[in-house]
Structure 1
Amino acid sequence: MGSEAGRFGVRTMPAYAAGKAAVQYGLLASLAKDVPKVWLRARVNCVAPGTVATERFREECERFGRQWQWEESEAAVGLARPVPIDDVARTFLFLASGRYSGSTHGQLLHVDSGKMGSLQWMREDLA
């Protein structure tokens, strides 16, 4: 499982961001080449959610004085909201279903309320 952190980085969490980047780029590409050689019908994909709207995340942001992290997650995306947890779950269900995703292989799926497609570098409020 990847994360938006692997693409954009996260303030104060460089090791987490580096680990996620390794999973969603290097590991995904390597496994997508190797796994089907052993299991012919296997598919390898990666889901990279943005900030997921869970009560625990909101509470931890408040508890550790990281409210900026919640606010940035809301301001930075095209839909201006964190990702509903059900959206992430449905993405995994899609990938698990050979009927609907049978040819999906070696793909990184961003479930991030539009952050991947937004023009981050033009946002002065996020600089």
Structure 2
Amino acid sequence: MDLGFDDVHVLVTGIPCASGIELVKLFLDLGAQVTGQYNTNAEPLTTLAASHPKPKNLLSVQASLTSEDSIASLYATASEHFKKPVAVLVINHAKVHPPVALVDMDLGRWEDTIKQDLTSPFLVTRKFLGGLRTAQGGPEGDRARDKVSVVFVGSTAGLFGEAFRADYAAAKSAVMYGLPLSLKNEIVKIAPRGRVKCVAPGWTKTPRVAGSLQDPNLVGRALATMPLNKVAEPKDIAYQVAILASSVVSGHVTGQLVVVAGGMEGRLLSNPGNMTI
């Protein structure tokens, strides 16, 4: 099925994470022109460009997404390169600190997480909307507005909470609920067919958690409330993002959250052997 991404300008943030590079590859395969944002490591995007049959459809741009000037430069570079504004925005970036109890969490850690995982998506999205509003006239501007979609990548941490990462869970909850549910009612004032959605992955096979997934006890606890009884692959997340971003198959869907976590129902907080009545 044609998802309608031919020559559509897609911006994916948060490279080089495994899910991010999978998203870029999928959108390229679907015919999109993709800008991949990275902060410090361009190697995965460079490698993908070298191996993909359509390398000219991929642009790598360095940007710090907590800086308004850097974000403005990102959009200017991307729009100039592809000669059209960004039509589909995928907010995939996030920062995860090591676990620490809330009682021991210092204010600097809390503020940094909110800045990276909530304020930064706000800044990137605000600039995206501003670019759409100023892209008046011409076929490219009109076509971009017809395809407009924002997809936030949340986390099951924002749905169920996550002990020892309350900062991350709180930021993700805002990105999954308050922000998209408000934005879906505003975006149509700029792009009448604009849509806003969120995907919330659970445990996913990425390099960041590869070590944890070697622990059978941890995996058992992670899968205990998942009827599908498996850990997601990065492509599982990418497919859902693409489906939701598509104006063809999801053109009448907005303000929705899709949880990609194998049917997870919550957290296993106690081992059966430790329970008392």
TM surpasses 0.5: yes
Aligned to 1:11: 163
1:114 partnered with 2:263: yes
Which residue matches 2:250?
101
Comparing both structures, which one devotes a greater share of its residues to strand? Answer: 2
Match of 1:33 among 182, 185, 208: 185
Alpha-carbon distance in structure 1 between the residues aligned to 2:226 and 2:198: 20
Aligned to 2:226: 77
How far apart, CA to CA, are the structure 1 residues paired with 2:268 and 2:170? Answer: 24
SS of 2:199's equivalent in the other structure is strand
Query: For 2:230 and 2:250, how far apart are their aligned partners in 1?
Result: 27
The question of whether the paired residues in 2 share the 8 Å contact of 1:58 and 1:70 is answered with no
* 1:39-50 alignment runs, 5 A limit: 39-50=191-202
Letter in structure 1 aligned against 2:201: P
Unaligned stretches of 5+ in structure 1? none
Q: CA deviation at 1:76?
A: 2.9
Offset at residue 41 of structure 1 (A): 1.4
Which digits, 9 at most, give the CA deviation of each residue in 1:18-74, with x for residues without a partner?
A: 000111010011111111111111110011111112243122x37xxx886544322
Secondary structure at the aligned position of 1:78 is classed as coil
Output the aligned Cα RMSD.
2.8
> Which structure is higher in RCO with an 8 Å CA cutoff and minimum separation 6?
1
Q: Is 1:57 the equivalent of 2:209? A: yes
Query: Could you state the TM-score of these two structures normalised by the residue count of structure 1?
Result: 0.80
Change (3 A) 1:18 1:113: same
- State, as a whole percentage, how many aligned pairs show the same letter: 35
Taking the aligned partners of 1:55 and 1:121, their CA distance within structure 2 comes to: 22
- Tell me the amino acid that sits aligned with residue 247 of structure 2: G
Q: 1:67 to 1:5 in 2, by over 3 A?
A: farther
In structure 2, distance between residues paired with 1:77 and 1:27? 27
- Structure 1 or 2: more helix by fraction: 1
Q: Deviation digits for residues 56-101 of structure 1, max 9, x if unmatched?
A: 3122x37xxx886544322231212222211111001101221111
Report the count of equivalent residues.
121
Which stretches in structure 2 are left out of the alignment for 5+ residues?
1-152
DSSP 3-state at the match of 1:83: coil
SS of residue in 1 equivalent to 2:226: coil
